[in-house]
Structure 1
């Protein structure tokens, strides 16, 4: 039986993403929305997979720097890849009731909260699961593009970064249409009637992290960030449409 709090009639980003990744946690509305987007952008499943791989690579890099705790905002539903740090403490955050219903299966602790209200995350009692005095790996994988300009994404990022101790890292990825053929954009916009999805050029995304120490190679396609050990050749930037970065808090 589906929890009464879960609206199965409306597509949700976490469930649609799970559908593209080949997961099993989605409903008809999520599949219909995902298929409509895929019809306009046939490589959308590749984008989802490459973003997931980027998050995994970046998390391993951060763990290799000695970071042993992560704040994963926009955790999403179970799927291959993601954060792989068995000895780390992970605080998961999501606003999808379906994710919440399965939170007990996640390693670490969980907060049901919305990225658009970062204070609710930072002031939640469960935030004490992390030691704010020690470095944290802040994970913002494919979630910031669901924050509209009028919801102050730059301010949200700065609020979260302000809570991190020196030596922390942020891993972030963000969809972009800057490589999409102009003729395709109207079809993508038609699948975004509520305006909730806000793709942005890399320059706008990069600006939110000014003052941090960028980890090489800086801002690049998620398919190309430190991807030498991934299957070659790497996908084209045009086929992935998602930028990623990793940066250190000085």
Structure 2
């Protein structure tokens, strides 16, 4: 069983193609909707999916979905795909500020986020492909862009109170051409995981290179099974 956790501005439907491919291989997938008002509520939604599994599942966490994945229990292995791996008390704003200070360049997400009057931020369609889907086909990028939705404007201040890093094995996939979560930050997060891979992809490798994701999931399942 695989639990797929989407990132900010995204939704479960972004995993539709990957889910179809995995199902054809005999791997069941649950993709809970994380569109909740707080981090505890998002963790609860994902935990409910975890608890419904007959045995500890593999989790694929993309982008901000990693903040949720890191606080789950009953998980066999987490694949962080260009994802946030925060410590308790640490926020996305904290890591962005550190990167800005180190590189002297603005955070790429801050340059494309547009605040709205409703307490949400938006990513304009004309910025979405460059930011999230740069190496996707035009058709895939257009479909994925249409699925984007507003995100709460305070998520950059959210922080976990507990993380499962000491009890849950993890693999971090660095997306080297990422234009949403800069590589310098991904390197810091990767150092917090048991294994690191690097792919020459942009932010949404599960859309642009599903073959890489499928192969990693199969290998991880095989490796985990051999260790039981």
Assess same fold via TM > 0.5. Answer: no
Q: Which category describes the TM-score, using the shorter chain as reference length?
A: 0.3 to 0.5
Normalising by structure 1, we get a TM-score of: 0.36
Q: Answer with 1 or 2: which has the greater Rg.
A: 1
